Amino acid sequence: MTATAASTRQQQKERTRSALLTAALELSQEQGFAQTSLRQVAKRAGVVPAAFYRHFESMDELGLALVERCFGTLREMIRDAQRDPEVFDHIIDAAAEILVAAVKENKADFGFVSRERVGGSEVVRAAIRHELELFETELAVVLVKLPNIENWSTADVQMVARLFVRNMVAGAEEVVEMPAGRPDLEQQIIEGARRQMRLIVLGFKDWRS
């Protein structure tokens, strides 16, 4: 064991597992998950390649764990946001700002999701798609409580949820790609996202299925 001292066996194992996940996330950010090798991950986590197998059967399995960890963070943030009464009152403005802030604070997670959603390995892609579908459904449940929408058909609400998720993913991509130290660009993205959502919401009151 090369470990930082003081630990039970379980703690130490968990620490190494976490180090592997973090290393993989970092490397994915730099060069994409599919281009990231088991040996690179092990090296950055500070263990020998063979030790990798004590935690994951393959890079695919690590990828799935990474998807879970990222969406866990994401879900948590959304739950927090929903509790805030401010958010419900000014749902659009809040959504735009929260989105940008959240993405900025978790660039690695969001970047991983948005990149691997289309580009990555088969199994990782499938997992991300599944999570995003879950998220669409959750959002539909929230949306259906909004005025102007409450008596739409299920299909229409799902469609609108998809439209929103789609644009959130796109917005997240923009923030992830945003070069550091450009607060003007950030404001521009927030403003763009807000306008787009407002435009979509404007259509609500005139919608006929």
Partner DNA sequence: GCGTTCAGTGAACGCACGTTCACTAGAGAA
Partner DNA sequence: TTCTCTAGTGAACGTGCGTTCACTGAACGC
List of residues contacting its own copies (CB under 8 A): 32, 34-35, 114-120, 156, 159-160, 162-163, 166-167, 170, 173, 192, 195-196, 198-204, 206-207
What are the Cα distances from residue 115, in Å, to 70, 78, 120, 145, 151? Answer: 13, 21, 7, 32, 36
Specify the residue, 55 or 117, whose C-beta has the smaller distance to its own copies.
117
Residue from 30, 31, 54, 84 in contact with DNA (CB under 7 A):
54
End-to-end CA distance of the chain: 64
**Nearest distance from C-beta of residue 121 to its own copies, angstroms:** 8
DSSP class of residue 53? G
Structure-token pair, residue 139: 């959002």
Binding pattern to DNA, positions 34-53, x when CB under 7 A? ---xxxx-----xxxxxxxx
Are 197 and 96 spatial neighbours (Cβ–Cβ below 8 Å)? yes
Catalog residues that contact DNA under the rule CB under 7 A. 1-3, 7-10, 12-13, 15-16, 37-40, 46-55, 58-59
